[in-house]
Amino acid sequence: MACHTIAKGGANGIGPNLSGVVGEAVASGRGGYAFSDALKGKGGKWDEATLNEWLTSPSKFAAGTKMTFAGLTDAQQRADVIAYLKAN
pLDDT digits (tens, 9 = 90+) for 11-59: 999 999 999 999 999 998 777 899 999 999 999 999 999 999 999 999 9
Task: Answer yes or no: CATH 1.10.760.10 is held by domain 30-87.
Answer: yes
Q: Is 42 exposed, middle or buried (0-12, 13-18, 19+ CB in 10 A)?
A: middle
Query: ∠ CA(24), CA(14), CA(86), 5° rounding?
Result: 30
Q: Which of 57, 51, 61 is nearest to 88 (CA)?
A: 51
- First CA to last CA across the chain, in angstroms? 13
Domain range summary for the chain, segments of one domain joined by +: 30-87
pLDDT (average), residues 60-77: 96
